[in-house]
Chains A and B, each alone.
Chain A
Amino acid sequence: DADVTQTPRNRITKTGKRIMLECSQTKGHDRMYWYRQDPGLGLRLIYYSFDVKDINKGEISDGYSVSRQAQAKFSLSLESAIPNQTALYFCATSDLSTGTEENTGELFFGEGSRLTVL
């Protein structure tokens, strides 16, 4: 089983609908992230959370909200989906707190959730 699991893997929805993408992890990491990938733009950070009580906006948080239900669960919601939110969404985790020479800065990604908004 994957260490970072995203559901659903694929979703087609209509403009104005509410959508939730869920992420769960078995790595025991405190830090969780949501990124979206668009062609030519790479991965852009939407929201991140360092623990259950800590939620932070990323580069492109407008139109999105998140919920950290537990250490292992971090969900992303689109309250009213619009076509330009069509993208590939990735959840990621890490266990870094402070950088050291030994820390690689590695993020562990899920397999992605492809969302299409018509």
Chain B
Amino acid sequence: DQQVKQNSPSLSVQEGRISILNCDYTNSMFDYFLWYKKYPAEGPTFLISISSIKDKNEDGRFTVFLNKSAKHLSLHIVPSQPGDSAVYFCAASADFNKFYFGSGTKLNVKP
């Protein structure tokens, strides 16, 4: 059974609007959470992370929110740009030794 779940396979957003990608996890031992972005024919690349001691982390247009009690995290992209169109994976780890990935959400930002 997957320990990290992304229940929305796809999301379509208008350029300039906010994109919100969601991720849920089941293992309460997870303390480190990351988002990766993947373009076709490329490997995933790191986007932003958060540790369990925080509930928010920002990096430019990207903000990750963590709700530990709900075992839920979300990635906000504001404003969304066409170049943000990609597959986004969330990942979680208890100890930085093994990382568990969600199934991904394909974001399409329309011009």
Contacts and interface: CB of A to CB of B under 8 A. Distances in A.
B34 A90 contact: no
Contacts, number: 72
Interface in B74-111: 89, 91, 93, 95-104
Nearest to A104: B49
Contacts of B97: 48, 50
Nearest to B98: A45
Nearest to B5: A42
Nearest to B51: A101
Interface residues of A, number: 31
Residue among A42, A90, A94 with max Cβ neighbours from chain B (10 Å)? A42
B101 A43 contact: yes
B44 A43 contact: yes
Interface in B33-48: 34, 36, 41-46
B24 to A, nearest CB: 13
A96 interface: yes
A114 B95 CA distance: 30
Among B51, B53, B93, the one with the most A-chain Cβ atoms within 10 Å of its Cβ is: B51
Main secondary structure of the interface of A (DSSP, over half): loop
A98 B96 contact: yes
B93 A42 contact: no
Interface stretch (A12-20, A64-72, A78-86, A105-113): A105-113
A109 B32 contact: no
A94 B46 CA distance: 12
25 contacts: A33-B99, A40-B103, A41-B2, A41-B103, A42-B2, A42-B101, A42-B103, A42-B104, A44-B101, A45-B99, A48-B97, A50-B97, A90-B43, A94-B96, A99-B31, A101-B53, A103-B96, A104-B46, A105-B32, A105-B96, A105-B99, A107-B44, A107-B46, A107-B99, A109-B43
Interface of B: 2, 4, 6, 9, 31-32, 34, 36, 41-46, 49, 51, 53, 89, 91, 93, 95-104
Interface of A: 4, 33, 35, 40-45, 48, 50, 58-59, 90, 92, 94, 96-99, 101, 103-112
